[in-house]
Amino acid sequence: MTTLLEISGVSVSFDGFKAINNLSFQIGEPELRAIIGPNGAGKTTFMDIVTGKTKPDQGRVLWGDKGISLIGLSESRISREGIGRKFQKPTVFEAQSVRDNLAMALRNPRGPFDVLFYRKNAGGAARIEKVAEQIGLSDALERTAGELSHGQKQWLEIGMLLAQEPRLLLVDEPAAGMTPAERQKTTDILVEAARTRAVVVVEHDMDFVRRLDCKVTVLNEGSVLAEGSLDHVTQNPEVIDVYLGR
Amino acid sequence: MTRPSDATPTSKPRSFIANNPSVLWFLLALALFTLGVTALSEATGSGVISTSFVKTLGKTLCLCLIAIAMDVVWGYCGILSLGHFAFFGIGGYAIGMWLMYARTQAIVVENLSASVIPPTPAELSDAIASQIFGVVGASEFPAIWAFSHSLVLQLAMVVLIPGLLALVFGWLAFRSRVTGVYLSILTQAMTLALALYLFQNDSGLRGNNGLSGLQNIPGFEQVPQAQISMAFFWASAVALGLGYVMFAWVLRGKFGNVIRAIRDDEARVRFLGYHVESYKLFIFTLTAIVAGIAGALYYPQAGIINPGEVAPIASIYLAVWVAIGGRGRLYGAVIGAALVSLLSSWFTGGGAPAINLGFYTIQWTDWWLVLLGFSFVAVTLFFPGGIGSLFDKLVRRSS
């Protein structure tokens, strides 16, 4: 396992409030990692920094084998580098079909003229079918995304991430609002995806994290409080104090 | 067209027309309309339709063309530009400069031909300039008229100036991530600034006099207006047809999906790896160029262009047409522009009979704007799909 993403000494504050405070940790490739922490611990801000939405005040965010800095790159550029992000609220393009949603996400040149002269082809169609199978939406390809259930929208968004073929997937609360059966399936999709790439899951739900069965990073007040297996971190008295005890 | 294997129709690339049946229907309707008007016109047919009404219809086709451009930028891409009439006006001014120059030159040359000593080029130029700019107290050509002697160069201006202005304006605005109502205000400011500049006498474009006599096409002085108006009517119809096909082609497939996705959730598109600003800039510039071409065809039929044409209100009307016709459907924009602009000239031209309520008489010249305003509010509130959505319902019922 090699280091894919290295965050060191990153701090960012909004109006004097330190959302991230000297945060350092690394993600390997392939790896499945869960990030937990109480509200306001900086979980979403961490994702914002990695994906270019928020610029940190200080620190380094290094990416890939060559260790290029992600700070200052645009969101679209970072995405093309191989970082995919799933938002807390399912954000799919509701007016368009499931197929079109996946087609847009497919890894292909992204320039306006590349897209303007893009022709649908059998290879692309096959990739879409494969992703649809992974997320269990093979029968729903022609349906409008807005008609899908909440859980199916979440899967579609995960599917769009998979279609991008990223090296790192950042997934924000994928199980929120799902039924137990849907949660199980989501777990399977994420575990499967993490076989070949890095997957970082931010989640509140302890049962869900337990089922992921992976290394856990606990954030609190913008920095790492504990790191290790779930059993290890849940026995840490500080973690119990700030998070689990409440 | 026969396809060898139809086993997987959804994944197989199909022809552009097969995927966009509305394009074929639209072209058919446009062709029928054009032929119908041709058969009824004074120049080429029975004469039921007067030359001035042919001009009105030709102008309406130009308005339909800018309306589909507006629909693409607003209805598809979600940029509520309230400045597209600025590009329309620039197109009109660009062609108007050549029309005025060439016609004035012809008149001046004829007048001076009686004199014993032939005029020098400098004398000729001065004579033309004082003819054109006498009304604003100037007698020399401003720098922006440098290419006005050349039809080819002025035609290039029709495309280049709206395109470059849109490119620079759009780049500045989109790069700073100005969106929504703030962008609309910015585009209003752009068109207002242009109008105010043109109103000045020393703008070099004859201030509030504007450019006039544009219906007289140099070199075709002997051709009656009936025939000239037919030619422009046809040109406008062809431009509308080509514009419709081009936009339908641009919006087909994946590019159209990305554009619609930008309208619905711009941030998400960014995280998919698309450089949203480039896409917006492409659409903004392309529609500005089409607006310029529409203007260049419109004003020779109108005969006159003045700065009032690019006043902010014109661009707001444009948004109203597209909203009433139905956003996100190219034919909706055409229907909205044609219906509302024709109704507008009927009501404001005194065509509509006044309604006597006993205590008050409704004069439509005064009340038309109120009616239009109410229609706009009503469509937005109760009928967001506009008139174009009626077709969707028809298609759904028949299939």
Is the model's pLDDT at B6 over the cut of 70? Answer: no
- What is the SS3 assignment for B366? helix
Residue B330 in this model has a pLDDT that exceeds 80: yes
**Selection from B193, B189, B182, B195 nearest residue B79 by Cα:** B182
- Boundaries of domain holding A19: 2-93+165-244
Q: What is the pLDDT of residue B14?
A: 63
**pLDDT computed for residue A50 by the predictor:** 93
The pair of structure tokens assigned to A134 is 């992974």
Task: Check whether B2 has a pLDDT greater than 60.
Answer: no
Distance from CA of B312 to the nearest CA of A (A): 31
> The tokens of B214 are what?
């544009």
Please tell me if residue B257 touches chain A, with a CB cutoff of 8 Å. yes
If you average pLDDT over residues B137-159, what whole number do you get? Answer: 91
Q: How many percent of chain B have pLDDT more than 70?
A: 96
Mean pLDDT of B53-68: 96
Residue A174's pLDDT is 87
The residues, any chain, with a CB within 8 Å of residue B13's CB and separated by 6 or more, are A119, A120, A121
To which residue do tokens 């431009």 refer?
B239
Q: Using CA atoms, how far apart are residues B181 and B192, in angstroms rounded to an integer?
A: 16
Q: Which of B64, B60, B66 is nearest to B85 (CA)?
A: B66
Decide if A74 is inside a domain. yes
**Chain A residues closer than 8 Å to B278 by CB:** 111-112
Q: Measured between beta carbons, which residues in chain A are less than 8 angstroms from residue B264?
A: 93-95
**Which positions in chain A have a beta carbon within 8 angstroms of at least one beta carbon in chain B?**
51, 53, 74-77, 79-80, 84-85, 87, 91, 93-96, 99-100, 103-105, 110-112, 115-116, 118-122, 125, 141-142, 160, 164
Is B11–A75 a contact, with Cβ atoms under 8 angstroms apart? no
Residue A175 near residue A98 (C-beta atoms within 8 A): no
Q: B-chain residues within 8 Å CB-CB of A121? A: 13
**pLDDT value of position B134:** 86
Over the stretch A214-242, which tens digit does the pLDDT of each residue have? 999 999 888 898 899 988 988 888 888 87
Confidence of residue B11 (pLDDT cuts 50, 70, 90): very low
Per the domain annotation, does A120 fall within a domain? no
Tell me what pLDDT residue B4 has.
Answer: 43
Position A191 confidence tier, pLDDT thresholds 50, 70, 90: very high
Predicted local distance difference test score (pLDDT) of residue B5:
39
Would you say B134 and B77 are in contact if contact means Cβ atoms under 8 Å apart? no
CB-CB: which of B255, B261, B273 is closest to A164?
B273
pLDDT reported for residue A41: 85
Q: CA triplet B394, B397, B398: central angle to 5 degrees?
A: 85
- CATH number at A202 reads 3.40.50.300
In the stretch 32-51 of chain B, residues with CB closer than 8 A to chain A read: none
- pLDDT for res A83: 94
Q: What is the pLDDT of residue A15?
A: 86
Tell me the whole-structure pTM to 2 decimals.
0.91
CA within 13 Å, CB half, B23: 18
- Residues listed for chain A: 246
Domain ranges, ordered by start, for chain B? 19-398
For residue A77, the chain B residues in CB contact (below 8 A) are 275
- Residue B36 contacts residue B210 (beta carbons within 8 Å): no
The chain B residue lying nearest A116, using CA atoms, is B255
Q: What is the mean pLDDT of residues A151-157?
A: 91
Q: Give the pLDDT confidence score for residue B3 in this predicted structure.
A: 42
* A47 within a domain of the structure (yes/no): yes
Report chain A residues whose CB lies below 8 A from the CB of B279. Answer: 112
- Alpha-carbon gap: A2 to the closest alpha carbon of chain B (Å): 25
Average pLDDT of the residues in A194-203? 91
Q: How far is B98 from chain A (nearest CA, A)?
A: 34
Give residue B388's pLDDT band: very low, low, confident or very high (50, 70, 90).
confident
Please check the confidence at residue B223 and state whether its pLDDT lies above 60. Answer: yes
A236: region left, alpha or beta (phi > 0 left; psi from -120 to 50 alpha): beta
The mean pLDDT of chain B is: 89
- For chain A, what is the domain count? 1
- Is residue A34 scored above 70 in pLDDT? yes
* Residue at A226 is within a domain: yes
Beta carbons of B254 and A94 less than 8 Å apart: no
Q: Is residue A39 part of a domain?
A: yes
Rounded to 5 degrees, φ, ψ at A223 are: -140, 170
Q: What confidence category does residue A244 fall into, taking pLDDT thresholds of 50, 70 and 90?
A: low
Residues on chain B touching A109 (C-beta within 8 angstroms): none
Mutate to test the interface with A, among B8, B177, B254 (most CBs of A within 10 A): B254
Question: Is residue A155 domain-resident?
Answer: no
Provide the pairing of β-strand B304-305 with B211-212: antiparallel
Instruction: Inform me whether the pLDDT recorded for B8 exceeds 70.
Output: no
> Is the per-residue pLDDT at B1 higher than 50?
no
What confidence score (pLDDT) does residue B10 get? 45
